[in-house]
């Protein structure tokens, strides 16, 4: 990251490219599952975890910049922007996919309520069926993070920067230990996979990285090959840690730190692939792509497992995502008040927005 006394996030096009990588991993996971009929969630877990870490980094950076300049946080602006970013596209999905879901008998209308109120992850953790929208569990975790983290961040900043870093580190350790404890005591895989508490470390690694960046200390620029090596590492660990223990315990522990390396690379001298037009295009449309692609693949999967049909579903999802970006997401975001704090608004229109990891599989 660029050495300076007061680090600023600024406009980082490579972060869009990083989102592009994350959504490709998620789509690849669901595409393989549809074609083979075998659940292999490792790639999807990795992609969602990248989204989580990026969300923590972006949100914390923007909030810390605002607090450094004004000494306060504009709650109305922050939550208003989150609502404008997330709700319109999700509302369209709930109306369209929700209608298909109910009419097709995938679930009853009650299953749409956890999605609409961002508690889908706990609904899924309890073993309940989300129909054509199972991937919305990650959006719920992101939204819960958006609600809680700014309050905790402000509490910490009123004390010291070290207090913020301590809270992040403590939260990371607690989340990892909780995953291990739940696994050792026989908790269901769904509880571990979908829990907000068991996924919090991915978000907090991003928050910690933002806190370190805003210390104002000099840090060396990393060469582009570091980002490429970290991306290769993500794919490698996804393929190597494909078992239940790997997917639910090891991957969520390792991937946030590899994601942090990728974020540092994007904020320094980004590799060419991260700033390519294709990667940035996919990254800017990653939220809508995430919302639509899995529902489309699930509908196709109920009819056929042919490769052409599954690929066509992804292509159609990309077309819908473009329409969503042009006519739903961009107009709503563009209509809001401009931020005096950061010029990263355009880049922040991606998943975290988050999905995701929004983040999210």
Would you list the domain boundaries of the chain?
A: 13-349
**Residue 98 CB contacts under 8 Å (≥ 6 apart), including other chains:** 109, 112, 133
**Residue 205 CB contacts under 8 Å (≥ 6 apart), including other chains:** 53, 56, 168, 172, 256, 257, 259, 260
pLDDT band at 140 (very low <50, low <70, confident <90, very high): very high
pLDDT recorded at residue 6: 57
Q: Mean pLDDT lowest for which of 51-55, 215-219, 226-230?
A: 215-219
- Work out whether the CA dihedral 22, 353, 52, 179 comes out positive or negative: negative
- Kindly report the number of other CB atoms within 10 A of residue 32's CB atom: 17
Task: Say if CB 215 and CB 161 are below 8 A apart.
Answer: yes
Task: Say if CB 268 and CB 224 are below 8 A apart.
Answer: no
312-324 per-position pLDDT tens digit = 999 999 999 999 9
Q: Mean pLDDT lowest for which of 132-136, 157-161, 219-223?
A: 219-223
> Is 342's pLDDT higher than 90?
no
Spatial distance between the Cα atoms of 95 and 357, rounded to a whole number of angstroms = 21
Spatial distance between the Cα atoms of 69 and 200, rounded to a whole number of angstroms = 28
184-213 per-position pLDDT tens digit = 998 889 999 999 999 999 999 999 999 998
328 secondary structure, DSSP code: I
pLDDT recorded at residue 349: 33
Q: What average pLDDT is seen over the chain?
A: 87
Q: Residue 39 burial by CB count (10 A; 0-12/13-18/19+): exposed, middle or buried? A: exposed
> Is 264's pLDDT higher than 60?
yes
Q: How many residues does the chain have?
A: 361
> Is 3's pLDDT higher than 60?
no
- % of the chain beyond a pLDDT of 90: 69
**Which contacts of 339-345 are long-range, i.e. CB under 8 A and separated by 24 or more positions?**
339/77, 341/62, 341/65, 341/66, 341/69, 341/70, 342/8, 342/9, 342/10, 342/61, 342/62, 342/65, 342/66, 343/10, 343/11, 344/9, 344/10, 344/11, 344/12, 344/58, 344/61, 344/62
Task: Please list the residues that pair with 359 across neighbouring strands.
Answer: 357
- Kindly report the number of other CB atoms within 10 A of residue 170's CB atom: 11
pLDDT recorded at residue 353: 37
Tell me if residue 58 falls in helix, strand or coil. Answer: helix
pLDDT band at 358 (very low <50, low <70, confident <90, very high): very low
162-175 per-position pLDDT tens digit = 899 999 999 999 99
pLDDT band at 24 (very low <50, low <70, confident <90, very high): very high
pLDDT recorded at residue 95: 96
Spatial distance between the Cα atoms of 329 and 345, rounded to a whole number of angstroms = 13
> Is 99's pLDDT higher than 60?
yes
Task: Tell me how far the alpha carbon of residue 285 is from its chain's centroid.
Answer: 13
Q: Mean pLDDT lowest for which of 48-62, 84-98, 222-236, 325-339?
A: 325-339
In the numeric block, the tokens 């950076």 are attached to 61
Euclidean distance between the first and final Cα of the chain, in Å? Answer: 29
pLDDT recorded at residue 8: 72
pLDDT band at 220 (very low <50, low <70, confident <90, very high): low
Q: In this structure, what token pair is assigned to residue 327?
A: 């006519």
29-88 per-position pLDDT tens digit = 999 999 988 878 899 999 999 999 999 999 999 999 888 888 888 888 899 989 999 999
Q: Model-level pTM? A: 0.90
Q: In this structure, what token pair is assigned to residue 249?
A: 């315990």
Tell me if residue 211 falls in helix, strand or coil. Answer: helix
> Is 334's pLDDT higher than 90?
no
* Segment 88-98 mean pLDDT: 96
């Amino acid at each position: 990251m660029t050495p300076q006394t007061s680090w600023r996030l600024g406009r980082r096009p490579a972060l869009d490219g990083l989102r592009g990588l994350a959504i490709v991993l998620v789509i690849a996971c669901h595409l393989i599952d549809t074609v083979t009929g075998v659940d292999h969630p490792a790639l999807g877990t990795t992609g969602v975890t990248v989204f989580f870490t990026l969300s923590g980094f972006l949100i914390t950076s923007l909030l810390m910049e605002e607090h450094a300049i004004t000494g306060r946080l504009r709650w109305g602006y922050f939550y208003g922007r989150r609502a404008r970013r997330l709700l319109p596209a999700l509302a369209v999905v709930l109306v369209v996919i929700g209608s298909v879901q109910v009419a097709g008998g995938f679930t009853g209308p009650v299953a749409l309520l956890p999605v609409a109120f961002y508690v889908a992850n706990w609904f899924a953790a309890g073993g309940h069926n989300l129909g054509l929208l199972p991937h919305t569990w990650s959006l719920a975790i992101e939204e819960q993070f958006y609600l809680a983290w700014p309050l905790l961040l402000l509490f910490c900043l009123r004390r010291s920067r070290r207090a913020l870093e301590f809270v992040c580190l403590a939260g990371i350790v607690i989340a990892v230990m909780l995953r291990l404890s739940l696994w050792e005591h026989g908790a269901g895989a769904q509880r571990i996979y979908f829990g907000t508490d068991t996924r919090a470390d991915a978000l907090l690694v991003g928050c910690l990285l933002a806190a370190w960046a805003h210390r104002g200390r000099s840090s060396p620029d990393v060469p582009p090959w570091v980002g490429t090596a970290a991306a290769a590492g993500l794919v490698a660990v996804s393929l190597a840690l494909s078992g239940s223990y790997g997917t639910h315990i090891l991957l969520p522990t390792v991937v946030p730190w590899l994601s942090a390396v990728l974020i540092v690379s994007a904020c320094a001298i980004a590799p060419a692939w991260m700033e390519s037009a294709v990667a940035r295009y996919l990254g800017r449309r990653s939220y809508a792509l995430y919302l639509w692609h899995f529902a489309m693949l699930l509908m196709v999967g109920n009819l056929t497992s042919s490769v052409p049909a599954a690929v066509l579903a992804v292509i159609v999802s990309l077309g819908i995502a473009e329409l969503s970006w042009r006519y739903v997401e961009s107009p709503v975001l563009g209509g809001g008040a401009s931020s005096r704090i950061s010029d990263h608004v355009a880049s922040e229109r991606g998943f975290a927005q988050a999905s995701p990891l929004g983040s999210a599989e």
